[in-house]
Amino acid sequence: MRRIRLTLDYIGTSYAGWQIQPGKDTIEGRVEQALFRLTGEEIKVVASGRTDAGVHALEQVAHFDTGTDFDLRAYTNGINVFLPPDIRVTDARVVPDTFHARFDAKRKTYEYRFYVSKVDRAVLYNRAHRLQSMPDLTALNEAAALFVGEHDFAAFMSSGSDVKTTVRTVYSALFAAQSESEFTFEVSANGFLYNMVRKMVGALIKISENKLTSADISRALADPASTNLPYVAPACGLYLKRVEYEN
């Protein structure tokens, strides 16, 4: 047996998220099906984390064990033959049996893509979230900076997940303009709670609409037990951008 580490990208629009669920079309399900066709083995694939329905990945990392000893290209080009074009394996390498895509992830980065337009745009359909007007990115960056550091993010977690601690360390949280009508929010942390990025973005959008203030974010971080911010930004703008491991 050997352990293979995969890098994948995908457009999540057509899928019920990463995690396999009965009767649902999932990315994990597609990858495991493709691996079965390639290897004849029933293989469980472990990702760095689940992504929700409609969320995309520029770079997801996953691992699996196999008794096959194909040339490594079989686990990229070979798997891709059995995958739909909106899911691609871009890299495969052999890793020690001790490598674990989820437990060993030291830092994850998400990108949230926005565009500004009075009407929907076809070329960004399901690829970015539309706002009516360009917000003040300097003001938003001041609010986003409140997330940086070690905080209890319980107010930025949707229920339905079972975690030991809701404390996470955010390394950076930054808005950046891409063009006159497009911008991104990029956030890196040692880990994210369920819906944490979408709730952070949801709160920041409300700030841009003057429906929340920076003080509401400060309060939610200082006193998470008594606050829950209900604003969840749409899945279509969210991309898992990078997962980093030691060495």
- Most distant CA pair in the chain, distance: 58
Of the residues 9, 52, 104, 162, which is catalytic?
52
Distance CA 154, CA 157 (A): 5
| 119 touching its own copies, by CB under 8 A | yes
Interactions with its own copies, residue window 126-145 (CB under 8 A): 126
Options 77, 165, 213, 218; binder of its own copies; rule CB under 8 A: 77
| 183 touching its own copies, by CB under 8 A | no
Report the nearest approach of its own copies to the CB of residue 113 (Å). 11
Options 66, 72, 88, 116; binder of its own copies; rule CB under 8 A: 88
The string of DSSP letters for 88-110 reads: EEEEEEEE-TT--TTTTEEEEEE
Options 65, 86, 104, 182; binder of its own copies; rule CB under 8 A: 86
Amino acid making up residue 80: N
Report the nearest approach of its own copies to the CB of residue 17 (Å). 15
Report the nearest approach of its own copies to the CB of residue 43 (Å). 20
CA 25 to chain centre: 18
Distance CA 103, CA 100 (A): 5
- Of 67, 75, 1, 86, nearest to 38 (Cα)? 75
Question: Residue 124 carries which DSSP code?
Answer: G
Q: With CB under 8 A, what is the number of residues at the site for its own copies?
A: 25
Options 87, 204, 220, 221; binder of its own copies; rule CB under 8 A: 87
Taking contact as CB under 8 A, which single stretch among the options 28-36, 78-86, 192-200, 221-229 is the one that binds its own copies?
A: 78-86
Report the nearest approach of its own copies to the CB of residue 85 (Å). 5
Please name the helix (run of DSSP H) or strand (run of DSSP E) that holds residue 184, with its range, or none: strand 182-189
| 180 touching its own copies, by CB under 8 A | no
What are the Cα distances from residue 144, in Å, to 108, 137, 213? 17, 10, 11
Residue 52 appears among annotated catalytic residues? yes
> Smaller CB distance to its own copies: residue 35 or 143?
35
Contact between 107 and 89 (Cβ < 8 Å): no
Question: Residue 234 carries which DSSP code?
Answer: -
Q: Which residues of the shown chain bind its own copies in the complex (CB under 8 A)?
A: 8-11, 56, 58, 76-77, 80, 85-91, 117, 119-123, 125-126, 239
Query: Active-site positions?
Result: 52
